[in-house]
């Protein structure tokens, strides 16, 4: 009865397209969620049983069941630290320059457009830049530092864009107040801008590093090795990284190696998701704190 | 005393100047990256074109740089690239825009607070994971539906790439819809429009340039995507638009050569820079157009 009454009220002429739209959107959401679920399910189903202590502490091996990811996760860790050391000061410095020093002229406008376009350059192109510049011209060879420099260039635009946004959100009355009290520009940056924009900058850095840790293509382009049965000793040592090891295992025909790849992916996804979630929560936390 | 004070002030100003110089260098560094990319890629590309004619590169339909009879026609790589990117866009464009409209006009703050972070986290999944999914889950599944489907093909990475770029289309379109002035919406509501009318007759047209910018950025991302196609689309350049057979894209060709140990200065080494310059030019133009469109959006 109630249903019939509702149907009578329902005017097909005006509500028809609306209903079609809502049904479509629901279908799309279901499709997206189903795909995501399938993706995670298939990877966990294939790889979960392979994850154990031995998998994390063994070097790669020709025998799939003996093989582990020790050299690749250590390589990824070193790579992350080095990339951060190189990219963070440069990126935050550039953001401060654009927000606080750059005058409005055509050159700075050009540089701003340039950063936007750099952020859209495919990562493999950065790999080729790294190959020609760091590996060949600077003859760093396929070393940890060559990989870190390449990844640093790749994430630099991301860090600059997010840091600029964080710096822009620092209330200007605080800066003006400090300037009025006789602080120099660098003092304002040190005591007002950096502390206040720190959460936003940190969020951007974490997101950028989580992007870098999953990047495979630039490392393949600079020729990172796939089989390394030792840990890097210094920044000039050859290295391998988690995504490279995963790629190597995927490209083999044997199903046992595919299981290793899935297990490696579980480790990689856990790291990137953990980083991303901490960045998102960090931002929400500080947003709420500032809005209070 | 006053001399001393003056010197102190002088040192102070020098210090400020040095700090400014350091920051300026950081800012300038980003420009150096672009100069480096353009310089190196185009240098190797000119060396490539000393041995291969531009005519052959643009018009030949065969790409066989590793065979004994070498052909350097880039067209098969371009059709391969566009094929995968096209399939991805067919999936991501309508889905992404409708989802963004829903998020903007229909969803309440609660839904937005959940969906937005989920999208961001999704966007952070490394592309190699999608490659695994395409090769080892989607392709076997599709082979049950289409028995003639080859193990490496364009349709499976295309579909997965569509899902991969979906978060990007949604959040960029959502930004564009969010930039539409509230007054326009409220006026339409005041005149008795329904939600559907406001969403599709007011917001969508007003934000059109932003939506197109989102599409262009997404296509550019799809064209430059590497690992997904390197894993699941095959390594066989084919001048075809058939999504069921193995193909090769610009990016997966670069991966193929990078995996082998190609000596510097050989034609194969230079060919990766030649195709990379095609890739760079396409994505660069797309990105500039998208940025212009996004700037024009600011009311």
Q: What does the domain layout of chain A look like in residue ranges? A: 2-50, 53-291
- The CA radius of gyration of chain B, in Å to the nearest whole number, is 25
Q: Could you give the percent of chain A with pLDDT greater than 70? A: 94
Among chain B residues, CA nearest to A87: B26
CA dihedral A260, A266, A272, A273 (to 10 degrees): 170
pLDDT number for residue B264: 79
- The minimal CB distance from B30 to the residues A17, A160, A268 is found for A160
Distance of CA B286 to CAs B40, B216, B274, B289, Å?
A: 21, 6, 19, 5
Q: Are B105 and B199 in contact (CB under 8 A)?
A: yes
pLDDT number for residue B76: 93
Size of chain A in residues? 292
* Residue ranges of A 48-87 with Cβ closer than 8 A to chain B: none
A-B Cβ pairs (cutoff 8 Å, strict): 243
What distance in Å separates the CA atoms of residue A122 and residue A117, rounded to the nearest whole number?
10
Tell me if B29 and A114 make a contact (CB, 8 A cut-off): no
pLDDT number for residue B109: 85
Q: Is the dihedral of CA A33, B197, B294, A282 positive or negative?
A: negative
Beta bridge partners of B63: B72
**Count of H-run helices and E-run strands, chain B:** 14, 0
DSSP designation for A143: B
Tell me if A280 and B121 make a contact (CB, 8 A cut-off): yes
Query: What three-state secondary structure class fits A46?
Result: helix
- The minimal CB distance from A25 to the residues B99, B135, B286 is found for B99
Distance of CA B261 to CAs A47, A207, B44, B244, Å?
A: 31, 33, 18, 30
What residues of chain B lie within 8 A of the CB of A17, using their CB? 196, 200
Q: Bin A245: left if φ > 0, else alpha if -120 < ψ < 50, else beta.
A: alpha
Residues B3-24 as b or e (16 or more Cβ within 10 Å = b): eeeeeeeeeeeeeeeebbeebe
pLDDT number for residue B205: 93
* Residue ranges of B 60-89 with Cβ closer than 8 A to chain A: none
B170: confidence class by pLDDT, cuts 50, 70, 90: very high
Question: Mean pLDDT, to the nearest integer, of A172-192?
Answer: 90
What distance in Å separates the CA atoms of residue A148 and residue A142, rounded to the nearest whole number?
11
Q: Are A266 and A68 in contact (CB under 8 A)?
A: no
- The minimal CB distance from B33 to the residues A43, A153, A280 is found for A153
- The minimal CB distance from B33 to the residues A118, A124, A184 is found for A118
pLDDT number for residue A11: 58
Q: Is the pLDDT of residue B292 over 90?
A: no
Beta bridge partners of A238: A143
- B143 in A contact zone (CB under 8 Å): no
pLDDT number for residue A160: 96
Tell me if B124 and A111 make a contact (CB, 8 A cut-off): no
What distance in Å separates the CA atoms of residue B172 and residue A239, rounded to the nearest whole number?
37
Largest Cα–Cα separation, chain A: 81
Beta bridge partners of A234: none
pLDDT number for residue A4: 55
Degrees (nearest 5) of the Cα angle A224, A44, A274?
65
What residues of chain A lie within 8 A of the CB of B284, using their CB? 117, 121
Question: Mean pLDDT, to the nearest integer, of A174-193?
Answer: 90
Among chain B residues, CA nearest to A159: B30
**Mutate: best of A44, A72, A97, partner B, most B CBs <10 A:** A97
Residues A32-66 as b or e (16 or more Cβ within 10 Å = b): beebeeebbebbbebbeebbeeebeebbbeeebee
Q: Is the dihedral of CA A46, A48, A54, A55 positive or negative?
A: positive
Q: Bin A171: left if φ > 0, else alpha if -120 < ψ < 50, else beta.
A: beta
Tell me if A24 and B98 make a contact (CB, 8 A cut-off): yes
pLDDT in tens, A237-267: 888 999 999 999 999 888 899 999 999 999 9
User: B240: which residues sit within 8 A by CB, 6+ positions away?
Assistant: B76, B79, B83, B247
Q: Is the pLDDT of residue A3 over 60?
A: no
Q: Is the pLDDT of residue A96 over 90?
A: yes
pLDDT in tens, A69-95: 998 999 999 999 999 999 999 999 999
- The minimal CB distance from A132 to the residues B40, B231, B287 is found for B40
Mean pLDDT of chain B: 89
Q: Which residue from B235, B233, B270 is spatially nearest to B256, judged by alpha carbons?
A: B235
- The minimal CB distance from A94 to the residues B26, B195, B225 is found for B26
Degrees (nearest 5) of the Cα angle B208, B211, B216?
125
Q: Is the pLDDT of residue B164 over 80?
A: yes
Q: Bin A139: left if φ > 0, else alpha if -120 < ψ < 50, else beta.
A: left
pTM of the model: 0.90
A66: confidence class by pLDDT, cuts 50, 70, 90: confident
CATH of domain A53-291: 1.10.3720.10
pLDDT number for residue B155: 95
pLDDT number for residue A58: 86
Q: Is the pLDDT of residue A282 over 90?
A: no
Tell me if B280 and A121 make a contact (CB, 8 A cut-off): yes
Lowest mean pLDDT among A142-156, B51-65, B146-160: B51-65
* Residue ranges of B 153-172 with Cβ closer than 8 A to chain A: 163, 166
Q: Could you give the percent of chain A with pLDDT greater than 90? A: 48
What distance in Å separates the CA atoms of residue B5 and residue A282, rounded to the nearest whole number?
46
pLDDT number for residue A20: 87
Which residue is it, tokens 């740089």? B65
């Amino acid at each position: 009865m109630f249903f019939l009454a509702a149907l009578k009220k329902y005017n097909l002429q005006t509500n028809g397209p609306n209903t079609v739209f809502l049904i479509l959107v629901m279908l799309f959401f279901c499709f997206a969620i189903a795909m995501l679920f399938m993706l995670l399910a298939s990877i966990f189903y294939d790889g979960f049983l392979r994850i154990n202590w031995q998998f994390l502490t063994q070097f790669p091996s020709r025998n799939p069941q003996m093989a582990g990811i020790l050299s690749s996760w250590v390589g990824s860790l070193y790579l992350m630290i080095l990339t951060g050391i190189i990219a963070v000061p440069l990126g935050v410095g550039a953001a401060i320059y654009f927000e606080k020093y750059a005058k409005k002229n055509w050159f700075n406008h050009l540089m701003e457009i340039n950063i936007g376009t750099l952020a859209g350059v495919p990562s493999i192109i950065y790999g080729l830049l790294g190959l020609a510049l760091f590996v060949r011209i600077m003859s760093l060879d396929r070393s940890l530092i060559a990989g870190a420099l390449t990844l640093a260039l790749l994430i630099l635009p991301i860090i600059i864009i997010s840091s600029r946004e964080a710096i822009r959100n620092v209330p200007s009355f605080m800066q003006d107040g400090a300037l009025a009290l006789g602080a120099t520009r660098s003092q304002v940056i040190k005591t007002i801008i950096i502390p206040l924009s720190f959460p936003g900058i940190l969020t951007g850095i974490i997101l950028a590093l989580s992007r870098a840790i999953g990047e495979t293509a630039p490392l393949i382009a600079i020729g990172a090795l796939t089989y390394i049965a030792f840990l890097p000793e210094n920044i000039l040592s050859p290295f391998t990284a988690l995504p490279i090891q995963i790629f190597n295992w995927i490209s083999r025909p044997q199903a046992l190696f595919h299981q290793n790849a899935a297990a490696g992916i579980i480790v990689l996804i856990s790291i990137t998701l953990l980083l991303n979630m901490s960045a998102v929560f960090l931002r929400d936390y500080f947003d709420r704190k500032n809005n209070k | 005393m006053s001399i001393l004070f003056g010197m102190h002030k002088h040192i102070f100003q020098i210090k400020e100047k040095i700090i400014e110089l350091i920051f300026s260098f950081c800012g300038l560094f980003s420009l150096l990256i672009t100069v480096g990319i353009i310089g190196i890629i185009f240098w190797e590309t000119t060396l490539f074109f000393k041995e291969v004619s531009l005519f052959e590169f643009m018009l030949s339909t065969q790409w066989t740089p590793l065979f004994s009879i070498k052909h350097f026609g880039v067209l098969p790589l371009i059709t391969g690239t566009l094929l995968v990117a096209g399939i991805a866009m067919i999936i991501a464009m309508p889905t992404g825009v409708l989802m963004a409209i829903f998020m903007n006009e229909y969803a309440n703050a609660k839904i937005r607070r959940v969906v937005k972070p989920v999208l961001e986290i999704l966007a952070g999944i490394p592309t190699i994971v999608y490659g695994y999914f395409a090769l080892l889950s989607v392709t076997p599944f599709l082979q049950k539906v289409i028995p003639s489907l080859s193990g490496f093909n364009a349709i499976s990475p295309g579909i997965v790439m569509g899902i991969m770029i979906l978060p990007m289309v949604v959040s960029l379109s959502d930004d564009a819809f969010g930039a539409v002035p509230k007054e326009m919406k409220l006026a339409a509501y005041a005149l008795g429009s329904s939600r559907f009318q406001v969403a599709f007759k007011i917001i969508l047209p007003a934000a059109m340039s932003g939506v197109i910018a989102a599409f262009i950025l997404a296509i550019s991302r799809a064209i430059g995507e590497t690992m997904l196609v390197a894993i699941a689309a095959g390594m066989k350049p084919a001048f075809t638009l058939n999504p069921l057979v193995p193909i090769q894209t610009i990016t997966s060709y670069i991966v193929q050569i990078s995996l082998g140990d190609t000596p510097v200065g050989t034609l194969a080494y230079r060919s990766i820079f030649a195709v990379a310059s095609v890739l760079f030019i396409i994505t660069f133009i797309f990105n500039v157009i998208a940025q212009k469109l996004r700037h024009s959006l600011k009311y």
